[in-house]
Amino acid sequence: MSKPLTNQLPAEYQALTTILQARRSIRKFRPDPIDDETVRLLADAARFTPSAGNAQPWDLIMVRDPETKRKFGDIYIEQLRQKNRLEMTRAADIRFFGDEPPEPTAGFVDAGLLVVVIGDPRVIDAFPLRTKIDKGPQHIISSLANIVVTLHYAAASLGLASQYLSDTGSPEMEIMLADLLGFPDHLRAYETVCIGHADMKPSSRYVKEVEDIVHLEKYNMDLAKTDAEIRRHIIEKLRPNFKKVL
């Protein structure tokens, strides 16, 4: 693909790609508080997120109370023990953490703010009937995923670090969080975005090249991968601990 000339790039593209490249998953935070103004700015940016049928199926529970965050961390650690036991049943080379699970920790409780993204599946009726039947739940999930990503980039634009906490939506954790945070049964806990001040520098990450993912006009079979190639790709590129187990 021909590259655009750098000096012709719109300032908006440069600002956007700067944020896209700078945002990283940070898993260690300084315990500095997040003020009311920042909470408002994050929510104000996030509310413009696109959603299927403009249904906006979200609520954001903003958790800053240290005691609630501590309980949140305890719930997370408890479910992680079972998750790690399940992972140990997998073949060693593809196991997420290598030889043995690390001791579960919840570094995110130091983040000043936990944004728990709650979904309301009832707005599925905002979609045309066929859409509702075909892919209603998928549209709800995609919309919630969108607001999560907006929150991450909004945090990055304010110089803040963020982390995904997707175990939020696992059944056991969701029930425990409903009890802790008081949201009703008909709502779903989708994801938590932990936002705060970074206390670590992330190591470099693997990012696919443009040529790895772009197919011009038609699917390019040169880019197709066999099952064995996909497995090798997961082990070699995506498993941080793969060297320990090979």
Ligand X SMILES: Cc1cc2nc3c(=O)[nH]c(=O)nc-3n(C[C@H](O)[C@H](O)[C@H](O)COP(=O)(O)O)c2cc1C
CB nearer ligand X, residue 14 or residue 166: 166
Is residue 194 within 8 Å of residue 29, measured between CB atoms?
A: yes
Q: Is 163 in the site for ligand X (CB under 6 A)?
A: yes
- What's the alpha-carbon Rg for the chain, to the nearest Å? 20
Listed in sequence order, the DSSP H helices in 47-127 are 66-87
Q: How far is the CB of 65 from ligand X (least distance, A)?
A: 22
Q: How far is the CB of 8 from ligand X (least distance, A)?
A: 28
CB nearer ligand X, residue 27 or residue 139: 27
Among 87, 167, 181, 242, binds ligand X (CB under 6 A): 167
CB nearer ligand X, residue 147 or residue 165: 165
Q: Is 239 in the site for ligand X (CB under 6 A)?
A: no
| Strand spans (E) along the chain | 29-30, 58-63, 113-119, 161-165, 188-198
Q: Is 165 in the site for ligand X (CB under 6 A)?
A: yes
Place of tokens 């009890």: 179
CB nearer ligand X, residue 25 or residue 82: 25
**Could you give the C-alpha distances from 198 to 19, 117, 156, 180, 236, in angstroms and in order?**
16, 21, 11, 26, 28
Q: Is 27 in the site for ligand X (CB under 6 A)?
A: yes
CB nearer ligand X, residue 205 or residue 218: 205
Is residue 60 within 8 Å of residue 115, measured between CB atoms?
A: yes
Alpha-carbon distance 19 to 14, whole Å?
9
Among 14, 18, 25, 220, binds ligand X (CB under 6 A): 25
Instruction: Give the binding range for ligand X (CB under 6 A) out of 20-28, 89-97, 178-186, 212-220.
Output: 20-28
CB nearer ligand X, residue 186 or residue 201: 201
Instruction: Give the binding range for ligand X (CB under 6 A) out of 23-31, 37-45, 91-99, 216-224.
Output: 23-31
Q: Is 21 in the site for ligand X (CB under 6 A)?
A: no
Q: Is 188 in the site for ligand X (CB under 6 A)?
A: no
Is residue 183 within 8 Å of residue 61, measured between CB atoms?
A: yes
For 213-228, give the DSSP string.
H--SSS--GGG---HH
Among 15, 172, 202, 234, binds ligand X (CB under 6 A): 202
- The enclosing H or E element of 175 equals helix 171-181
**Contact positions vs ligand X (CB under 6 A):** 24-25, 27, 163-167, 202, 205
